[in-house]
């Protein structure tokens, strides 16, 4: 891979084409999409429109919706942390990885929609299924992007034991999401608890060792 | 072009004026606009407001709208990839290129509007025409910016054969968009298929060789 | 802490794991969230819908709402300045700091909601309490993140006297917010004045000496 | 000014305090606010809701609103170009410049509101006055920030003749805006033409010589 660096610029070009490139703009667009997604979620929590006498209880009444918002914020934040972690390994971008990252961002951008549906119907199985499927899709697309990068030699060298560890960790959030879907009709509250467990598990489990 | 670099700063100033500059802020504002445009598109997919019994079918009923959203996301993503690719050649920015890039970003920012119209009237010729014209305008403005940069010597040296290749590739997406417009009244579904083909073609065709 | 730098990339990896990292992406996502939050606030100021004859007075009638918007803009700007100041000390990020920063960003993202409620009920005690509590939560989470960074050795060396000065300064905005809440039922205008004092105090007080 | 650089980080700290700093984060937050403001403007152009037979004429009927949107996009773009130009001179940031920049960004963020009012009442004097006052405020705050930076020695050395040139140029857009306000009651179309002239003048006039 004859990399031909030009000055202090952000883009490397190999001799025969525009790829692979350095990942700086891929990370910039990803951070931008995450920043907007994190902030857009609140638009779904509407201020109450009641008489002033009822305002206190109306504000307290927004708590469940704020709770779903907090859950979704935590899940989007979790995927940002995962993306940060995963792309910490990536050194070069090719067209495949560019589009796999876009596929992942697509699943992130759909989350505000799934979260709005869940906020409207917090205990309904179809809403829980949509939300869980969306979360599972986020995990799946990010995992595919990471394994693609490692398999294509676009990442730093990842040792065998580290790969195994990542593979195990990668299974956690889609498993929680799918179990959440599975129990949605019989125990919707348990589904929500499982969704809450996704970012919590990310924080609790050490990423290595 | 007597470039007078000062330390590690992002801005070069030549002796007689503020231009040409290094493109870092142009790329930053472009990535920001793309990130917001990619994420705003979902705001047009509203959660259903039905009784809980009808929720499952109502969620399935949002599929066409989600499909238009996915198409628009893919097209905006495609233009981001194209911008990334094109500005990978650019080394300096002058006022002309600054404003041509803004013209391109304008066509990108209009896309959520065109997408919303298309989502409301997916098989109506005027909606398809608006959408196709918008896509063609995105391609045209980006192409003008690129040729301007190459012609004005603001890019790295681009070999003749590479220019020809880029010229051919540049024709693909506006051609698909215009054919899509042309057949809108007789075969609107074919128009949508042609629009879907724009990002797909981008992925399928190798950018070089 | 055996840091193993690779080329000019943004991510450092120590030998045994992915943390600590350099803070560039944490700062990028934070700036992105702040940028969106600062701009979203205006969406709550709706243009008037009156006959043209009444337009002038209707525009003047939006002044109180614009005032709440200006206050919220100043407060979000104040927290951005504080974040800029605080993370000027930070040299490395671990998982704890990553999530504490996300907790802080969560409190920032809720501010447009609290501001919308306050704009609807500017003199109602529950709205003032919500707003004040939100502001106090912003200050508290940012302070926790800063002390965590200093305590864990993720910051540059901070001298004892500087720590004391930061501790005193850190108390100002939550104190103003809590006093604002305390007087909300008897003197709501005083509460608003105290909220206005938060960014003003930040500007007036010298950050050091 | 004993600057104490630490490694490859973005923040310089002088020995006695956290300021002056390098302007990278100020530019990042500014680009972010501009990116969101540029993209939010389109939210005010609503897709038509008519029968399919009337769609073509309804789309054409959105042209005036799209025109106001295009004008506002061009004006925000113009201020981004001006900010890019002005901060190309800035080398250091102190607290005053930090907050003057925030004041400028405040005037930018209000523009989508003024644009929405103008789009609803394109020929009404109060709407034109609001819009023109907003534009004049953008110019004034940016000019104050620039002169502050030059006066406080936070910029590169600006020669006397260049200062005079900037002073002249700085007067153009507020003058156009104020004349636009002045003729609003007698010739509202002329006001709009003067507003259109602001970004056009920026492009036409050479920034130097």
Assign 3-class secondary structure to chain A. CCEECCCCCCCCEECCECCCECCHHHHHHHHHHHHHHHHHHHHHCCCCCCCHHHHHHHHHHCHHHHHHHHHHHHHHHHHHHHHHHHHCCECCECHHHHHHHHHHHHHHHHHHHHHHHHHHCCCCHHHHHHHHHHHHHHHHHHHHHHHHHHHCCCECCCCHHHHHHHHHHHHHHHHHHHHHHHCCCCCHHHHHHHHHHHHHHHHHCCCCC
Q: How confident is the model at residue A207 (pLDDT cuts 50, 70, 90)?
A: low
**pTM across the whole model:** 0.89
Phi-psi region of A51 (alpha: psi -120 to 50; beta: other; left: phi over 0): beta
Token code pair at residue D208: 């130097």
Q: Are A20 and A154 in contact (CB under 8 A)?
A: yes
Token code pair at residue C126: 């529950």
**B93 touching D, CB under 8 A?**
no
Q: Are B1 and D4 in contact (CB under 8 A)?
A: no
Q: Are C145 and C101 in contact (CB under 8 A)?
A: yes
Average pLDDT, chain A: 85
CA distance A80 to chain B (A): 14
CA distance B167 to chain A (A): 15
Collapsed DSSP state (helix, strand, coil) of residue C93: strand
In tens digits, chain C (209 residues) has pLDDT values of 344 444 333 333 433 356 678 889 999 999 999 999 999 888 888 899 999 899 999 999 999 889 999 999 999 999 999 999 889 889 899 889 999 999 999 999 999 999 999 999 999 999 999 999 999 999 999 999 998 998 888 888 888 888 888 788 888 888 999 999 999 999 999 999 999 988 888 777 655 43
pLDDT value at residue D80? 95
pLDDT value at residue D77? 94
CA distance B81 to chain A (A): 8
For chain D, give the percent of residues with pLDDT over 70: 89
Q: Which of A104, A89, A92, A102 shows the shortest CA–CA distance to A18?
A: A92
Give the span between the Cα atoms of D4 and D113, in whole angstroms. Answer: 43
CA distance D149 to chain C (A): 17
* Most D CBs within 10 Å, among A34, A36, A37, A43, to test the D interface: A36
Contact A17 B91 (CB under 8 A): no
**D62 touching C, CB under 8 A?**
no
Cα distances from D42 to residues A79, B113, B187, D134, in angstroms, run 29, 7, 30, 19
Q: Which of B6, B36, B51, B185 shows the shortest CA–CA distance to B108?
A: B36
Q: Are A148 and A100 in contact (CB under 8 A)?
A: yes
In this predicted model, which residue has the larger pLDDT, A9 or C101? C101
Q: Which of C22, C30, C36, C74 shows the shortest CA–CA distance to C197?
A: C74
In this predicted model, which residue has the larger pLDDT, B138 or A165? B138
pLDDT tens sequence across D61-83? 999 889 999 999 999 999 999 99
Cα distances from A16 to residues A188, B161, D140, in angstroms, run 55, 12, 50
Phi and psi at residue B183, to the nearest 5°: -95, 5
What are the residues facing A14 on neighbouring strands? A3, A17
Phi and psi at residue A33, to the nearest 5°: -60, -45
For residue A13, pLDDT over 80 is answered with: no
Give the span between the Cα atoms of A52 and A41, in whole angstroms. Answer: 26
Token code pair at residue A16: 């025969």
A98: nearest CB among B59, B81, B91: B81
Residues of C with Cβ-Cβ distance to D43 under 8 angstroms: 43
Q: Are B124 and B183 in contact (CB under 8 A)?
A: no
pLDDT value at residue C19? 67
Give the span between the Cα atoms of D20 and C208, in whole angstroms. Answer: 12
**B32 touching C, CB under 8 A?**
yes
**A43 touching D, CB under 8 A?**
no
C131-134's contacts with Cβ under 8 Å and 24+ in sequence apart are: C131/C195, C132/C177, C132/C178, C132/C180, C132/C181, C132/C184, C132/C191, C132/C195, C133/C177, C133/C181, C134/C107, C134/C110
* Most A CBs within 10 Å, among D36, D37, D39, D40, to test the A interface: D36
B73: nearest CB among A29, A109, A126: A109
Give the span between the Cα atoms of B127 and D47, in whole angstroms. Answer: 10
**Residue D38: closest C-alpha in chain B:** B33
Give the span between the Cα atoms of C126 and C172, in whole angstroms. Answer: 22
For residue D54, pLDDT over 80 is answered with: yes
pLDDT value at residue B178? 92
Low pLDDT (below 70) residues in chain B: 1-19, 205-209
**A62 touching B, CB under 8 A?**
no
Residue B196: partners with Cβ closer than 8 Å, 6 or more residues away: B71, B74
pLDDT value at residue A4? 42
Neighbouring chains of D at 3+ CB pairs under 8 Å are A, B, C
**Residue A98: closest C-alpha in chain B:** B81
Cα distances from C160 to residues C93, C124, C166, in angstroms, run 22, 42, 10
C-alpha triplet A77, A79, A81: angle, nearest 5°? 70
**Residue D91: closest C-alpha in chain B:** B9
Q: Which of C150, C167, C8, C5 shows the shortest CA–CA distance to C87?
A: C150
Task: Give the range among A6-15, A156-165, C161-170 with minimum mean pLDDT.
Answer: A6-15
pLDDT value at residue A6? 41
Would you list the DSSP string of chain B? --EE--TT-S--EETTBS-SB-THHHHHHHHHHHHHHHHHGGGGSPPP-S-GGGHHHHHHHTHHHHHHHHHHHHHHHHHHHHHHHHHTSB--B-HHHHHHHHHHHHHHHHHHHHHHHHHHSTT-HHHHHHHHHHHHHHHHHHHHHHHHHHHTT-B----HHHHHHHHHHHHHHHHHHHHHHHTTTT-HHHHHHHHHHHHHHHHHS-S--
Give the span between the Cα atoms of D39 and D16, in whole angstroms. Answer: 41
pLDDT value at residue D129? 94
pLDDT tens sequence across B5-18? 443 333 334 333 56
Phi and psi at residue A92, to the nearest 5°: -140, 155
Residue D112: partners with Cβ closer than 8 Å, 6 or more residues away: C39, C42, C43, D37, D40, D41, D43, D44, D72
A80: nearest CB among C29, C109, C124: C29
Token code pair at residue B13: 């100033």
Token code pair at residue A151: 């398999």
**Cis, peptide link before residue D20, omega less than 30° from 0:** yes
Give the span between the Cα atoms of D31 and C26, in whole angstroms. Answer: 17
What are the residues facing A90 on neighbouring strands? A155
pLDDT tens sequence across D141-166? 999 999 899 888 888 888 888 888 87
Average pLDDT over residues D81-97: 90
Residues of A with Cβ-Cβ distance to C98 under 8 angstroms: 81, 84
Residues belonging to chain C? 209
C-alpha triplet C198, C204, C208: angle, nearest 5°? 105
């Amino acid at each position: 891979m004859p990399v031909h660096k030009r000055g202090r610029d952000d883009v490397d070009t190999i001799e025969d084409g525009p790829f692979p490139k350095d990942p700086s703009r891929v990370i910039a667009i990803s951070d931008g999409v995450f920043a907007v997604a994190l902030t857009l979620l609140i638009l779904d929590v509407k201020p109450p429109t009641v008489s002033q006498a009822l305002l206190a209880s109306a504000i307290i009444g927004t708590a469940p919706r704020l709770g779903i918002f907090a859950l979704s914020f935590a899940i989007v934040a979790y995927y940002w942390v995962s993306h940060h972690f995963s792309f910490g390994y990536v050194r070069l971008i090719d067209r495949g990885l560019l589009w796999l990252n876009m596929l992942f961002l697509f699943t992130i951008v759909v989350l505000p929609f799934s979260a709005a549906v869940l906020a409207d119907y917090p205990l309904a199985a179809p809403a829980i299924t949509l939300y869980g499927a969306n979360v599972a899709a986020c995990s799946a697309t990010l995992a595919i992007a990471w394994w693609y990068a490692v398999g294509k030699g676009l990442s730093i060298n990842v040792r065998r034991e580290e790969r195994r560890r990542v593979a195990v960790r990668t299974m956690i959030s889609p498993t929680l999401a799918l179990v959440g879907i599975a129990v949605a009709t019989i125990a919707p509250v348990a589904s929500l608890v499982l969704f809450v467990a996704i970012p919590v598990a990310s924080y609790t489990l050490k990423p290595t060792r």
